[in-house]
Structure 1
Amino acid sequence: MGLHAALAVHPGSGQGAAARIAGTVAARLRDHVDRLDLLAADTPAQSRALLDRSHADGLDALVVLGGDGAAHQAVQFCAGTGVALGLVPSGTGNDLARALGVPSDVPAAVDAVIAALRQRRRRRIDLGRVGDTWFGTVLCAGFDAAVNERANRMRWPRGPRRYDLAILAELAAFRSSRVVVRTDRDELELPAVLAAIGNTGFYGGGVPICPDADPGDGLFDVTVVGNAGRRELVHMLPGLRTGRHVTHPAVTTLRAREVTLSGNDWPVYADGEPLGRVPVSVTCVPGALAVLG
């Protein structure tokens, strides 16, 4: 049976970058598969309908041209199935692609996808699960989720600098809260400003909040920032870009397969998408996703 792949494009990804290069990427992929479906959708519902149609016809691989929002929707579709996910990053953050070692350069990323398709090369990675929702990168609650909410509302600047400005704006308003962190190994109760549960290490366009997270070890890395004031947070921020924040006295790190956050009503985001508010329970599902490469 021939190789059946689909290229999913979110036209708005990367301020329209995905739409501009979709035809070129599709042409390159078409030379290396027996069938390629080009799926362009502006909403998750449209995307799911197109994906279901391709899946019914025996889809082998789904290649996503877009950013973390598009990747998140693709993970919902591919998780727990035999459909392998490939990424060609063209969004703002591209954190899942970064964590998986996908080249940031579009032609190089397409080359990597083509090589994996031709060699039928795939590997399995873990995913996080909250109820019926899967995530590939980081679930965050507290200050960082509030920053995510603010960044999503901002139209300027583009790229990771938008996240940096959202951090500065939230510093003026955010207060620490009591949080209870229960895992299958530990239990913490403390005043804190954020908790991040990482399947992979990056969020916010390359911030290594859980710098040692490995999506192949069956465990989350958990980073909890305790009762740090504004001045202390400001001093900690430069270390976020390098992962040095985990050595700060206010930071606690844990590793666990299951995590529950409770004790407040912080906003919760995963893969940059809103998932309600605390309390929230999260499970790491080993090998839930097949990825090309």
Structure 2
Amino acid sequence: MATQQRFERLQIVFHPASGRGLGWRRARQLAGRLADAGTVAHLLDVSSQPTARIAAQLKSADAVVVVGGDGLIHHVVQVLARTGIPLGIIPAGSGNDTWRMLRDANPAQSMDRVAAFIAGSAAAHPVDLLEVEFDEAPQIVRLTVGAISWGFEATVNARANRLPRRLGSLRYVAALLLCIPKLKAFCTEVDTGGLEYRGPALAASIANIRSLGGGITLFASAEFDDGLADLSLVRGERIAPVLRHVPRILAGRNHPFRVAVRAKAFRVETSEDCYADGELLGRGAFSVRVAPGALHLMR
């Protein structure tokens, strides 16, 4: 556990469009609450500053709170990884799957958690990140605290990104329904050193968290502090035999087409697009490694 300190350079990161203005409102609410307790926080609007300036401000902070969703967390994690700077999360996005790993009942409980941490009554908890490296750009390592998807899940993610933000988490359900009729198998290879799969697949993801798409629990037993990541792959060439198992697939339960394993590293051969935390990462073959304890969460 990280030792507690007095936080004098606290950044509250938000995007004013998150949750149709919810991110801005919750960021101000948190700043006001902390001010009443004697802590001054800086509100960092990521929509109004260049990326390099945002990164510089995050690196100089002694604590950061993201008020937003998985996409905003994804970008902040690229800066905070391995710095020891603690990260708090207040949900205000459409998915909020990373936030769900905190097991908070609602945003108010998350705000209580952050306030208690800043007041010094809790310590930061180290959690794992996933390092992703594509063959086409071997010197660039991307990080995620959530899930990496290629094939069908990536197609759903891309479709959800094109739907109106006002739909919230329903964007993912709508995208899933829109994409199923067009679902096609793709060829992929996955090698963990203990498991090898080569053949057709309908969907594939590697995750460090339990849910995707705003609460769809594909990885029911995943933990982000155990040094392992979970692979979930739906093998097969045709969608028809799989359809009746969709409820089990979406609940992370066993089914006849499931390929699942937990591992520290993965090698993936594919020609598909790859998404993580709702963001397009790259295309083609890639490697994934678990980075134990690379991020510290207010938990």
Using the size of structure 1 for normalisation, the TM-score is 0.91
Contact 2:208 2:223 in 1 (8 A): yes
- Paired position in structure 1 for 2:59: 55
Aligned pairs, number: 286
Find the aligned partners of 2:266 and 2:45 in 1 and give their Cα distance. Answer: 36
Contact 1:2 1:33 in 2 (8 A): no
Q: Kindly report which structure 2 residues correspond to 1:78-227, keeping only aligned pairs within 5 A, or say none.
A: 78-103=80-105, 105-118=106-119, 119-131=121-133, 132-155=141-164, 158-227=167-236
Amino acid of the structure 2 residue aligned with 1:40: D
How far is 1:133 from its partner? 1.1
| Residue 7 (str. 1) matches residue 12 (str. 2) | yes
Task: Give the unaligned 5+ runs of structure 2.
Answer: 134-140
How far is 1:25 from its partner? 1.8
- Structure 1: which 4+ aligned runs deviate by more than 4 Å? none
Find the aligned partners of 2:205 and 2:171 in 1 and give their Cα distance. Answer: 20
- Paired position in structure 2 for 1:284: 290
- 252, 257, 268: which one aligns with 2:259: 252
| Residue range with higher mean Cα deviation, 1-10 or 94-103 | 1-10
Find the aligned partners of 2:166 and 2:222 in 1 and give their Cα distance. Answer: 29
Contact 2:211 2:218 in 1 (8 A): yes
Amino acid of the structure 2 residue aligned with 1:117: I
SS at match of 1:268: strand
How far is 1:248 from its partner? 0.5
Contact 1:219 1:284 in 2 (8 A): yes
Task: Give the unaligned 5+ runs of structure 1.
Answer: none
Find the aligned partners of 1:53 and 1:67 in 2 and give their Cα distance. Answer: 20
Call closer, same or farther: CA 1:49–1:236 in 2, change over 3 Å: farther
Deviations 1:68-114 (A, max 9, x none): 111111211211102000000011110000012234x3222111111
Call closer, same or farther: CA 1:47–1:101 in 2, change over 3 Å: farther
Find the aligned partners of 1:164 and 1:17 in 2 and give their Cα distance. Answer: 21
| Residue range with higher mean Cα deviation, 179-188 or 216-225 | 179-188
Deviations 1:12-71 (A, max 9, x none): 11122112332222101223464411111117x635513413533xx2210011111111
Using the size of structure 2 for normalisation, the TM-score is 0.89
Find the aligned partners of 1:156 and 1:292 in 2 and give their Cα distance. Answer: 28
Contact 2:94 2:165 in 1 (8 A): no
RMSD over aligned Cα, in angstroms?
1.9
How far is 1:250 from its partner? 0.3
Percentage of pairs with the same residue: 33
Contact 1:48 1:77 in 2 (8 A): no
Amino acid of the structure 2 residue aligned with 1:80: R
Find the aligned partners of 2:237 and 2:86 in 1 and give their Cα distance. Answer: 42
